[in-house]
Amino acid sequence: MAGFFKKIFSFGREEGKAVQAEQAAEKGAFAHEHRLDEDLAAEEGVPVAEAASSGDTAKGVPDFLVDEIEDKAAEADEIQNDAVKPATEHPDEAMLAPTAVSTTRVEQTAAPSRSGKLRIGAEVEEASEETTVEETPQQSWLQKLRSGLSRSSRELGNNLSGIVSKRKLDDDTLQDLEDVLLQADLGMETTTRITDALSASRYGRELTEKDIRSVMAREVGRVLEPVAKPLELDLSHKPHVVLVVGVNGTGKTTTIGKLAAKLTRGGLKVTLAAGDTFRAAAIEQLHIWGERTGSEVISTKLGADAASLAYDAYARAKENGSDVVIIDTAGRLQNKAELMAELEKIVRVLRKHDNALPHTVLQTLDATTGQNAMNQVEIFRNVAGVNGLVMTKLDGSARGGILVAIAARHQLPVYFIGVGEDIDDLEPFEADDFANAIAGVK
Ligand SMILES: Nc1nc2c(ncn2[C@@H]2O[C@H](COP(=O)(O)OP(=O)(O)OP(=O)(O)O)[C@@H](O)[C@H]2O)c(=O)[nH]1
């Protein structure tokens, strides 16, 4: 037995150990029957030219992505056992009429009232609450990140050793290096930064793999540093509304659960809205997260209007005094145009309450999908006004280079990374740790 101090308002990586025993018991409760190995994001390399010839039906959405999501929706429909009904289209007035909303009410321990701005990921307060939870040896999040990114780093190493063996840095070496860095999904901007920095300091001199890795870590760190920001919740407009969007299977619901756990442990009152009305399992999954985190869950029947549910959830969260309401959304509908229309509608309808809603639009990206994640950001940013990212599955066979390319292109804050399926596996994003892991620098 080992006692330790539980940090109540830290929202960081230290707290959370106190629920390990509970997690262990609950682990496995999630069937994950909807694991989407073949989600849209896995389909990489769709030629833009080929796709450009198809019709575009959603505002600001490249045609090839319309096709991709439509294809995935068709595939998913075949394998899905859920009895899916089409989302009903309501005129706005009808939509705002009361709907059959169900809630899971959960006993919450009395939480201190919070106000002002809170940074999620930073320590806010520490309490000396002794716990008696057995500490089980666990991989640290950094180990998980490193092992997740080891594939990227190992591939890079193999390619680099071919380039640098007994060669002085010349134009050919720089060209080879550029190819290797682009293959690692780092994107042209960051690749050029790295080759320019090496050229400036080592042109004509012998170059080792270690030299390249250390310049790479430094330059990637510089690209990531501006986007590594903690999520800020402004509780002056209680509840702070977080809309979570992303392609199916990228980890929206799981991330919502993990985030709710951080917030409730920090003394905040959270309401969850099951806005993925397309899939019964998603609604069920959110209810389980609600129970685990002591959050009230607002849901409705399968196939019901998601915008209406979001509208009702906000009203309920205001009524129940929530600090934060987190809204799940579908990652897939019958087709891509519908998905985009639904997201636009959720935003439009939420704004009937308050034009500033939603305050935060988080997009989840699956780190194992590589280049396609860039396309996903382009789409969801246009349609849903994404203003922050979470990269999930960095513990898996991650292809983390794309996060660097996305940071360089979009400069959207990366609030968290997902490093596992457990409740504690959501970590604040830290630029240097990530840069070192991807460059394979200790
Ligand atoms: N290894 C790992 N798995 C994760 C992580 N985040 C989510 N997952 C898993 O990824 C799968 C999909 O996660 P969900 O949260 O259901 O994804 P979603 O985006 O809500 O999917 P839809 O409801 O289909 O739109 C589940 O099996 C999760 O447990 C992570 O950081 N690491």
Residue 35 near ligand 1, beta carbon < 6 Å? yes
CB of 76 within 6 A of ligand 1: the answer is no
Structure letter (DSSP) for residue 152: H
ipTM of the complex: 0.97
Contact 10, 266 (CB under 8 A): yes
* Residue 365 burial (CB count, 10 A): 28
> Is any atom of ligand 1 closer than 6 Å to the C-beta of 421?
yes
- Residue 138: predicted pLDDT: 55
72 lines ligand 1 (CB under 6 A): no
Q: What is the DSSP string of 16-53?
A: TGGGHHHHHHHTT----TT--TT-GGG-----HHHHTT
**Rounded to whole angstroms, how far apart are CA atoms 129 and 22?**
18
Nearest atom, ligand 1, residue 329 CA? 25
Smallest Cα–Cα separation from 434: which of 125, 141, 161? 141
| Closest-CA residue to 223 (of 376, 414, 90) | 414
**Residue 251 to residue 77: CA distance in whole angstroms:** 19
Phi and psi of 147, rounded to 5°? -70, -35
Percent with pLDDT over 70 in the chain? 68
**How many angstroms is it from 249 CA to the middle of ligand 1?**
5
The reported pLDDT for the residue numbered 258 is 97
Residue 28 pLDDT exceeds 90? no
CA of 180 to the centre of ligand 1 (A): 30
Which of 3-17, 97-111, 261-275, 397-411 is the most confident on average?
261-275
Q: Is 370 one of the annotated binding-site residues?
A: no
- Atom 17 in ligand 1: which residue has the minimum CA distance? 251
pLDDT in the model for residue 134: 42
Residue keyed to tokens 């809630």: 103
Q: Which residue has the higher pLDDT, 104 or 194?
A: 194
- How far is Cα 195 from Cα 198, in angstroms, rounded to an integer? 5
CA of 420 to the centre of ligand 1 (A): 9
Of residues 375 and 13, which shows the higher confidence score? 375
Determine the pLDDT at residue 343.
93
Cα(69) to centroid(ligand 1), Å: 18
Q: Is ligand 1 within 6 A of the CB of residue 250?
A: yes
Mutation probe of ligand 1 site: the residue of 75, 419, 421 with most atoms within 8 A of C-beta: 421
Sorting pLDDT into bands at 50, 70 and 90, what band is 208?
A: confident
Beta-ladder partners of 299: 102
Average pLDDT over residues 109-132: 51
| Residue at token pair 């590589």 | 370
Among 158-167, 367-376, 401-410, top mean pLDDT goes to 401-410
Q: What pLDDT was estimated at residue 191?
A: 96
Residue 22 clears pLDDT 60, i.e. is over it: no
* Binding site membership of 249 for ligand 1 (Cβ less than 6 Å): yes
User: Which CA distances in Å does 188 have to 53, 178, 409?
Assistant: 26, 8, 10
Nearest-atom number in ligand 1 for the CA of 248 is 25
pLDDT for position 431: 95
Higher pLDDT, 212 or 106: 212
pLDDT band of 442, cuts 50, 70, 90: confident
- Mean pLDDT for 108-113 is 48
Q: How confident is the model at residue 161 (pLDDT cuts 50, 70, 90)?
A: confident
279 CB near ligand 1 (under 6 Å): yes
What is the structure's pLDDT at 306?
A: 95
Whether 422 is in the pocket of ligand 1, judged by its Cβ within 6 Å, is no
Taking residues 147-153, report their average pLDDT: 73
Q: Is 396 in the pocket of ligand 1 (CB under 6 A)?
A: yes
> Looking at residue 159, what is its pLDDT?
77
Q: Is 427 in the pocket of ligand 1 (CB under 6 A)?
A: no
**CA–CA distance, 3 with 137 (Å, rounded to integer):** 15
Whether residue 395 is annotated as binding a ligand: the answer is: yes
Residue 18 has pLDDT above 80, yes or no: no
Residues listed for the chain: 442
Question: Cα(308)–Cα(104) distance, rounded to whole angstroms?
Answer: 18
- Using the predicted structure, report yes or no on whether residue 185 has a pLDDT greater than 50: yes
Higher pLDDT residue, 228 or 20? 228
Please report the pLDDT score of residue 114 as a whole number: 61
pLDDT tier for residue 333 given thresholds of 50, 70 and 90: low
The two structure tokens encoding residue 232: 């800020």
**Residue 336: band (very low, low, confident or very high) from pLDDT cuts 50, 70, 90:** confident
> How far, in Å, CA of 270 to CA of 255, rounded?
14
3-state secondary structure of 309: helix
Q: At residue 7, does pLDDT exceed 70?
A: no
Under 8 Å between Cβ of 309 and 298:
yes
Q: Assess whether pLDDT exceeds 60 at residue 384.
A: yes
Query: Which tokens in the block code for residue 391?
Result: 């990269």
Q: For residues 290 and 259, what is the distance between their CA atoms, to the nearest angstrom?
A: 11
Domains in the chain and their CATH numbers? Answer: 149-226 (1.20.120.140)
CA of 197 to the centre of ligand 1 (A): 38
Q: Quick one: tokens of 358?
A: 């939603």
* Cβ of residue 267 lying under 6 Å from some atom of ligand 1: no
Question: Roughly how many angstroms between the first and final C-alpha of the chain, as a whole number?
Answer: 32
Instruction: Look at 11-20, 68-77, 102-111, 423-432 and tell me which has the smallest mean pLDDT.
Output: 11-20
Closest ligand 1 atom, residue 34 Cα:
24
